[in-house]
Amino acid sequence: MNIRLTLGDWDAQCADAQKIRYDVFVVEQKVPLEMEWDEMDRLCVHAVAYDDANTAVATGRLLPDGHIGRMAVVKARRGKGVGGIVLKALMSESRKRGDHAVVLNAQTQAEPFYRRFGFVREGEEFMEAGIPHITMRHAFR
C-alpha cells in the first residue's frame, strides 16, 4: 500500500480530516460531537493520508504550541504504518518551525505506539471524553 500525505490548513484539509475524525472519535469511540470540533482547527497544520484508491485513511493536527492532536486512523488501516507516517510528518513540521519538543495527550492504550517514536510519558493518567489518556513528550535533539 502506497500512502500519499498532504499537509495544509483547515480550509484545505477539513473535508477529509472531519470525516475520519467523525468516524473514529464520534461514531466508534463515542466522543460527544461538541467535544470533537474546536476553534483550534483553524490555527493548526493538518495532515491527511490517502491510500492507493485516494481514500483518506488517517489524520492528525499540529497546534501552534507544539501539541499534536486528533490523531486518527480508520479501522481498516490500523496497524499498517499509516499512523506513523502522519505522526512523523507532524513532528517534522514542528521541528522545521523551531519547536524544541512535541507533546500529545495519548489514549492510554496507544502509549506503546507513541513510545516507538521516542515519546515518553509525563504525569498520571487522566480522563478525557470518558477515555483514559496520558501526556507524552518527545524532545528534539
pLDDT number for residue 96:
96
Query: What does the alpha-carbon distance between residue 51 and residue 123 come to, in Å, rounded to a whole number?
Result: 36
Query: What does the alpha-carbon distance between residue 121 and residue 125 come to, in Å, rounded to a whole number?
Result: 9
pLDDT number for residue 103:
98
What's the average model confidence in pLDDT over 4-8?
Answer: 97
Helix (H) or strand (E) holding 70: strand 67-73
Q: Work out the pLDDT band at 141, boundaries 50, 70, 90.
A: confident
Please tell me the total count of domains within the chain.
1
For 44, how many CA atoms within 13 A lie in the half-sphere containing its CB?
24
In 3-state terms, what secondary structure has residue 79?
coil
Tell me which residue range forms the domain holding 61.
4-139
- The answer to whether the beta carbons of residues 74 and 23 sit under 8 Å apart is yes
pTM of the predicted model as reported, rounded to 2 decimal places: 0.95
What CATH number is associated with residue 87? 3.40.630.30
Mean per-residue pLDDT of the chain: 95
Q: Work out the pLDDT band at 34, boundaries 50, 70, 90.
A: confident
Rounded to the nearest 5°, which phi and psi values hold at 63?
-85, 160
Query: What does the alpha-carbon distance between residue 139 and residue 137 come to, in Å, rounded to a whole number?
Result: 6
pLDDT tens-digit series, residues 65-122: 999 999 999 999 999 999 999 999 999 999 999 999 999 999 999 999 999 999 999 9
- Residue 3: pLDDT above 90? yes
